[in-house]
Chains A and B, each alone.
Chain A
Amino acid sequence: SPRAVNVDLQTDATLQVDISDALSERDKVKFTVHTKSTLPNFKQNEFSVVRQHEEFIWLHDSFVENEDYAGYIIPPAPPRPDFDASREKLQKLGEGEGSMTKEEFTKMKQELEAEYLAIFKKTVAMHEVFLCRVAAHPVLRKDLNFHVFLEYNQDLSVRGKNKKEKLEDFFKNVVKSADGVLVAGVKDVDDFFEHEKTFLLEYHNRVKDASAKSDRMIRSHKNAADDINRIASSLYTLGTQDSTDLCKFFLKVSELFEKTRKIEARVAADEDLKLADLLKYYLRESQAAKDLLYRRSRSLVDYENANKALDKARAKNRDVLQAETSQQLCCHKFEKISESAKQELIDFKTRRVAAFRKNLVELAELELKHAKGNLQLLQSCLGVLKGNT
């Protein structure tokens, strides 16, 4: 019987995790992970620790490497906080301070700081989502490493992977994808998994494409908003040259553009949050689902190999018991993975549909809110401008 699925990741009172605070330092971000739990495993009911990005990765990798979790979709790791581009822009601005007016400088500085803040909020959200997914998972939430991560108030001393380890990971992934191609060719006897395999391969590619294209579209949108900002400044300069009617007109229009471009920037930011981030997240989740299918296929191959080995052993009448034990283990592993994988994939679909619904509704509502705001600004400004002409 299908167990109750927690689509809303925050309603379970037995374990609630969130990131209550975050601090951005020179080259790292410190997240304050806050836990509320009625579980007996923890010493207190409410506590906080400070964690950095590498510790999240450590936790994620420990799940991936754990054989017992082979049958689950491992919640995808949050991406590394990347402030490089933003920092570079702020630095360039500082260098170019002499070449622009005080107003221009202040304006650009505010813009870049807002951008920095937006990136910061995003990285906090992505790290939080990872923890919430783990906390919502009936098995993963009980993981010991997870509890250590939440509770141990010292540094976990997990250094980032060194070059050799990163290279090993790279080859592991190459082998995995090569295997994936090989295994994908084998038709599954189980219709459910056959369908899921076909579906996920195509879906993952299309989400990847959509994600990249949404990023490009939103970047153009931001660029246009930036242009309008500069145009507003330029009109302001023109408007302050004199006190003629035309100059007053320019000042009014400049004011309008200032306001509309703030709205346009918000539109781009909201599209980023509700659409681009959604697609990015499901790109990672669909990859995690594919990884699960791969692990199942691998265990099927192992099972089939164990069967062949058993037949051989029986034919030669040598090491039969050993072969039988091995075959039983493989069979058990395969069946266990298949059972949990089926549920995981069903849950994945439910989560995906709910997440898309929530985000698309919010996207539409925000687009409408901003468009109506813009419309009102334009109407009132035109009213004034036409009245005075």
Chain B
Amino acid sequence: VFDVDVAVTNPEKVVQFKDTSLPMFRSKAFTVRRRYSDFLGLYEKLSVKQSLLGCIIPPPPEKSVVGMTKVKVGMDDPSSVEFVERRRAALERYLQRVVSHPSLLQDPDVREFLEREELPRAVSTQALSGAGFLKMINKASDAVNKMTIKMNESDTWFEDKFQEVENEEQQLRKLHALVDSLVNHRKELCGNTAVFAKSMAMLGNSEDNTALSRALSQLAEVEDKMEQLHQEQAASDFFIFEELLADYIRLLGAMRGCFDQRMRAWQRWQEAQSTLQKKREAEAKLLWANKPDKLQQAKDEITEWEARVTQYERDFDRVGMTVRKEVLRFEKEKAKDFKSQIIKYLEAMLQSQQRLIKFWEAFLPEAKAIA
């Protein structure tokens, strides 16, 4: 078990990252600069290569024209800052998932991405964003669903798992929407608390009883601090909880893609078998028609297709095994991820409550001092 740590830091137009790593790399720790399109390029290369093998390729965060335009224009507003941080964190998680996958870590494209000083600019991603690529996969899987050849599974493991994955994706989408609603309401609460704090300060100003006036000003300060707490809580809701769900919705989509790859491998095998059958029938016809010159060609084609059938059957079995392994690994990772992130989320909540207690404990004597 190897341990590779990647971090994405200093995000502006360019992302820079460093990682401490293993003997297979040049040195222990190094930094390279990468553009967002480089991340997409890596994903595309991996998808093309690994797609025939049944691996779950973690998808990178989607392109966002609006978000990036704002950043390019140099707008300093909180939503731009949030967008930049969101992207940085998402890219970091993406890379961490790639390097924690034992097969992907071995991939030369991954190594090049991590090590090489300057990467040639990935041109094709200008047209294809991560989302675009996913859309392609989804379209292909729709086509697969429409195929009339039905797999006769003696082992229902794959069917059952696929159903599980679909259900889970649906549940997570629902939960994601709910957490998003929470984030928005928290932001609203934040704004409303700030406005309320100001109005309390004004009220304290006009109150002509000195002690009460002071207490009201103190209350206004407490509410100001509460606003700060709500803001941090909203960030926690979003960056820890909501983004976790978003990541896994995309990952489950990628997993569905794996199942579809297995399906395609099976179809390739079936089609080869049916082609082989046709070739044999053609040979039989030639024997009957007594055309010895064409007969040799037919025999050659039969040999070729027999080899293909064998190959495709082996491919299918191999993909099946990979998918199984991948699913089990994924489930372990998922369990670990969810547990650690949710615990982090709850710890943030706990700290928030502790600070809340301090604020009100400081206020209470002020309230009691009113006379």
Chain A interface residues toward B at CB < 8 A: 199, 202-203, 206-207, 209-210, 213-214, 216-217, 219-221, 223-224, 227-228, 230-231, 234-235, 237-238, 241, 244-246, 249, 253, 256, 260, 349, 352-353, 356-357, 360-361, 363-365, 367-368, 371-372, 374-375, 378-379, 381-382, 385-386, 389
Contacts and interface: CB of A to CB of B under 8 A. Distances in A.
Contacts of B368: 357, 361
A199 B206 CA distance: 7
Interface in B164-209: 164, 167-168, 171-172, 174-175, 178-179, 181-182, 185-186, 188-189, 192-193, 195-196, 199-200, 202-203, 205-209
Interface stretch (B19-27, B263-271, B332-340): B332-340
B178 A249 contact: no
24 contacts: A206-B205, A207-B203, A210-B203, A213-B196, A220-B185, A220-B193, A223-B185, A224-B186, A227-B181, A227-B182, A230-B181, A234-B178, A237-B171, A238-B172, A249-B338, A260-B349, A353-B371, A364-B363, A368-B357, A375-B354, A378-B353, A382-B343, A385-B343, A389-B343
A273 to B, nearest CB: 16
A235 B353 CA distance: 22
A360 B188 CA distance: 24
A105 to B, nearest CB: 17
A224 B189 contact: yes
A349 B367 contact: no
Nearest to B189: A220
B342 A216 contact: no
B346 interface: yes
Contacts of A364: 360, 363-364, 367
B175 A234 contact: yes
B350 A382 contact: yes
A379 B219 CA distance: 28
Given A210-B202, A231-B178, A216 B339 contact: no
Contact of A371 (B167, B174, B335, B353): B353
B349 A378 contact: yes
B339 A249 contact: yes
Contacts of A368: 357, 360-361, 364
B89 interface: no
Given A213-B199, A234-B178, A368-B361, A357 B334 contact: no
Contacts of B357: 368, 371-372, 375
B317 interface: no
Contact of B203 (A206, A235, A379): A206
Size class of the contact patch on chain B: 35 or more
Nearest to A367: B360
Q: Which 3 A-B residue pairings sit nearest by Cβ, starting from the closest?
A: A220-B189, A227-B182, A357-B370
A210 B198 CA distance: 9
Of B168, B185, B209, which is in contact with the most chain A CB atoms at under 10 Å from its CB?
B185
Contacts of B172: 238
B215 interface: yes
B156 to A, nearest CB: 16
B347 interface: yes
Interface string B211-227: 11001100100000000
A238 B215 contact: no
A206 B363 CA distance: 22
A218 to B, nearest CB: 9
Nearest to A373: B353
B182 A381 contact: no
A199 to B, nearest CB: 6
A213 to B, nearest CB: 4
Given A216-B195, A253-B342, A382-B350, A199 B202 contact: no
A22 to B, nearest CB: 31
A224 B206 contact: no
B228 to A, nearest CB: 14
Contacts of B179: 227, 231
A357 B363 CA distance: 12
Contacts of A235: 175
A385 B350 contact: no
Given A349-B208, A363-B367, 9 more contacts: A213-B195, A217-B189, A241-B168, A241-B171, A352-B212, A364-B363, A374-B353, A375-B353, A385-B339
B356 interface: yes
Nearest to B186: A224
Nearest to B342: A253
B360 A231 contact: no
A256 B364 contact: no
Contact of A221 (B182, B189, B342, B349): B189
B346 A378 contact: yes
B339 A389 contact: yes
Contacts of A234: 171, 174-175, 178
A246 B364 contact: no
A388 to B, nearest CB: 9
Contacts of A381: 346
Interface in B61-96: none
Interface in B208-256: 208-209, 211-212, 215-216, 219
A334 B342 CA distance: 70
Contacts of A367: 356, 360
A206 B343 contact: no
Nearest to B368: A361
B67 to A, nearest CB: 25
Contacts of A374: 349, 353
Given A213-B192, A213-B196, A217-B192, A238 B171 contact: yes
B189 A209 contact: no
A227 B188 CA distance: 13
Contacts of B331: 244
B171 A246 contact: no
A217 B185 CA distance: 10
B173 to A, nearest CB: 10
Contacts of A360: 215, 219, 367, 370
Contact of B346 (A206, A245, A365, A385): A385
B350 A379 contact: yes
Contacts of A245: 335
A246 B203 CA distance: 51
